[in-house]
Every structure is written in structure tokens, then in C-alpha cells.
Structure 1
């Protein structure tokens, strides 16, 4: 009876998660399409030193493109695709998306940190962000960290601690877990450090210099919020899953797996939160976006206010 109840709860969990992803996809696709349109056709990112921001948009599109497949599997009460090739491609894309998003967000935060805390010194990040070649190199460097998801000797999603068939299998699983945790924990420590230093710098500055500093604080704070909301919960859940799996606590593992998958679905909402970072980090992009998509709304609002004023005068 408990097994039947557990299976029923499993089905309900993944049905709910599939509809959460439907909402993320429904909101994320038009939002990211509009952002992409602005960056290419209106803002011209290559002229406005927004190459890193554009790469975050590309990374978000990788994630949005994976969601329909995840939705299909979850609605059929499957954690992953039964097609091994498709499963590994999905994992590869998701790992690549996460690594790229984190890499470019960290680079942007470091750029603001050096501009504020070490103003006047040579800012190597500023030199990097002007060069498209650097972005290509970052993507290439991410590939070796993502390749372990393509090795055929591990079970999709998580196999560490379950079966140790070969030495290569064990090394591959260990390396993948190290990459997973280090790409969250190390950047998070860097972000917190940058945020604290920028905030302290803001307190010491005079009134006339605070506008630029406040914008820098908004940027690094927004990145920390995105990390805390999207990436930290699933990282903690994965650590818990590994712990109960190594202890061979099967009942606890069944629950931990569902919590981990649920928090991974929560992490997909970074494709909705990243546009907030675009606004905080680049006021020019925000102005172009608003003037493009809210022009009719603003004109209508202005006309209504003018009508009200005319009526009040008369």
C-alpha cells in the first residue's frame, strides 16, 4: 500500500512540476525573444559594450529551448527521457546554460567591483568585455566542464554512490559533482564579497558620487538574489540527495529525488529573472526596452492625464 501511495505522490509531484515549467516557458519565451530583439535590432549590443549581457541572453535561450522536452517527460511521469542520447543532450544543454549564465554574471559583477572599489587601477575585465573573442573563449572553456555529462558510463541525472562499475565511472561521477558544486559555491562567495565591498564603498562616498554607486549596488545585489533564489536551493538539495544515496536510505532517497527535481525546476526561473539584471546593469538597455514595448501604453497614459487636467481646468 505504501508503495502505491508513494507512486501516486510521485505522479502528482511531476504533474505539478510540469505545469510550473509550462508557466516558465510561457513567460520566458516571449520575454527572452523581446530582449533578444532589443539587443540585436535596437540597442546593437556590439556597439554599446553589452557583449556579456548578450551572452546571458543566449544562455537563457538554451534553457528555454530545453523546457518543452522536460515538460513532456514530467507530464508522462518520467524524470528523464527514455532515449539515452536525448537524455544526455538535455543534461549537456542544461549544464552548459548554467555554467554560461554564472560565468557571464560573475564577470559583470567583477567589472562593477573593480570600477567602484579599485577605481583608477587597470580593470582587466573592462578590456575583456569589449572583445567578442573573450566570450567565445569562455564558451569553449565551459565545454570541458560539461563533457562529463556525455559519458556513457553513468546513469542520467545522478549516479554517484549508486553503482561503482569501473574506475572511469567513479571518477566521472566525482568530477561532475565537483563541477556542479564549485560552479555555484565559489561564484556565490565572490558575489557576496563584491557586494559587501561595494556597499561599504557607497557608505564612504560623498552625495555627488552616489548615483553610479547605487546602480552598482543594485546590480551585484540583483545577481546575489538570483543566485540565492535559483541556484542555492537545488545545490543544497543535491547535497542531501548524495548523502542519503551514499547511506543507502531508499525511502529518504525517494523523497530527496523529488525535492531535488522540484528545486531544479525552480532554478529554471533564472530565464525570467535575468532581464531584471539587464535593467540594473545597463540603463541604456532599460530605456530602449521601455521606449520600444511600452511606448503605446505611455502615450495612452499621457493622453488620459492631459484629458483629466483639461477637465479639471474647465
Structure 2
């Protein structure tokens, strides 16, 4: 939401955002709850990968729980009746989930990179699980610190005689928000993205070699396939969910701080940025799909469950 004096129609938000957020809510709640329950049931013997997946699912679940307020907000022409604190909290949940997901996916990628490229390293011998929990605690702390300024910048305000909840900052704080917004993008997206891509390029080199290369046995069969699937899915999540959002957000931050930029240009970039926001929320149901495709036992148990349901249904129809 921007100054009421120079607004390009944002009616698309009234249809696009509630529709996408409703789909994300309806898919994200059961999918992330299923991942959390599935992993938690095996907590005495959790792998490092599953520890990161559990934290990722918790971050997604907390975010998805905040969506009903945003669905109401955008369906009501940006009207925000829930008060200042709820506005700040919802914006904090969005950005903490977004950057938490990015960092947990980075942890999963680095973990798989070490497993593929350095299978005999000390990391794989002792203390791995405890270290993974410490890293997850560190991620939550870093995300909380990175996103804490959201409580200062996000605020309610009056626009066209109704209360709105500003996403980044109020228009009067645009210049103040700019350095923080760009820092958040660099530390919370750009650096992890570069790290993930470097890991994947190196993993792709290893996985494309023959099963035995220069006398060294390379990861065979199912493990290799699982690693390839993870590379494809995580790269897809970054490219679909995170890259368009951060790219358009950075462009919008630059344009809205230019004093000579016409109002129409500012609002055009605002519309472009806001139209990528639904993509950023999609990771909340794409992440459980990552878990499904990289966990053979989970796929098998889900398959057995679906076969059982189909069999019971067929019996019911044949009676």
C-alpha cells in the first residue's frame, strides 16, 4: 500500500492474493502437520537432514497459521481491522518464515553436499545430531535478529478513509527502510542462494561421474537418485518462490526512494513486487513436497496408505 494520491489500480490483489493464500493455507496446514508428526514420531533416531526438515516444517506451519488475517485483509480492499500489533506480527511471521526457510534449505543443501563430496569427513562420524540442533537454534536466532526491525517498520496507517497494514514501511519511512531492506535481501537471500548454487554445482560434478571414478566409489543407486531429486526440487523452490520475490522487492525499494521517480513508475513497481508475493508464500507447501520426494520410507508408507484407501473405497462401491 502506498500514497493514496498516486495509486495504480491494485484490484488484482483482491482476487489473486486471497485465492493463492487460501490454497497455501489449505495445503500448507495438513502437509506441514504431517511432516512434523512423521518426523517427531522418530525423534530418538532423527537424521541430521530430518532435524533440518522438522525445523523447516515448523517455520512453514507458523507462517501458514497467520494467513487467514491476510486473506481477510486483501479480500476487503486492504482494510485491516486487527490492530497495530497484529499487523506487525503478521509481517514478522512472513519475513521470518521466508528467511528461515531459505536458511534451513541452505542447511539441508550443505548437509547433502558434505555427504556427497566428503562422505568420510569427521562431520559424519560423531556429534552430528547435536551439532544439527545447535545449528537450527543458531538459524532461529539469526532469523529473529534479521527480522526484528520489521516490528519497527511495519505499521498501520490511514489510506482512503480506512485502516491499512503497510508491508515494508509507511511511505514516510521509505528512505529509512531502504538500507535495512537491502541488507535483509543480501544476508537473508543472496548469500545463502550463492552458497546453495556453489554446493549444487559441486554436487552435480560428483554425481555426473561414473559409479567408480579414479578408484573412488561414488554414491550409488537410490542415494544418488535422492540427491539428484533434492537438487532439482530445492533449485526449483529457490527459482519459483524466492528469486522473483527478492528481485522485484529490490527493484521496488530502489524506485520508491528515488525523489525524481514519477508516481506512476513507483506504483507500477509496487504492483510488480506485490504480484510476486504469492510465489514467496508457495514454499510453505513446496517444502513438504521436498521432504516427500527425498524420503523413500515416507513415500512408501504414503503409497501403502493410498492403496489401502483405494481398496476400501472399491470394496464399498462393489457392495
Deviation at 1:140, TM superposition (A): 2.1
Q: Offset at 1:302? A: 10
Larger relative contact order (CA 8 Å, sep ≥ 6): 2
What's the secondary structure of 2:122's corresponding residue? Answer: coil
Alpha-carbon contact 2:113-2:203 (below 8 Å) kept: yes
Asked if 1:210 corresponds to 2:220, the answer is yes
Match of 1:60 in 2: 60
| Structure 2 residue 222 is the aligned partner of structure 1 residue 230 | no
Q: RMSD value over aligned CA atoms?
A: 3.2
Structure-2 residue corresponding to 1:196: 201
Residues 154 and 169, structure 2, Cα contact 8 Å, conserved in 1: no
Which of 224, 232, 239 in structure 2 is aligned with 1:221?
Answer: 232
Which shifted more, 63-72 or 118-127? 118-127
Structure 1 residue 232, shift from structure 2 partner? 0.4
Structure 1: segments with no counterpart, 5+ residues = 304-314
The TM-score with structure 1 as length reference comes to: 0.81
Q: CA deviation at 1:209?
A: 3.9
- Which whole-Å CA distance do the structure 2 matches of 1:125 and 1:103 have between them? 24
- C-alpha deviation, 1:274, in angstroms: 0.7
Instruction: Compute the TM-score of the two structures, normalised by the length of structure 2.
Output: 0.80
Q: Which residues of 2 match residues 108-119 of structure 1 at below 5 A?
A: 108-119=108-119
Alpha-carbon separation, structure 1, partners of 2:277 and 2:298: 30
SS of corresponding position for 1:77: coil
1:258 aligned residue:
271
Note if contact 1:181-1:235 (Cα within 8 Å) is conserved in structure 2: no
Native 8 Å contact 2:10 2:271 kept in 1: yes
In 1, distance between residues paired with 2:128 and 2:138? Answer: 11
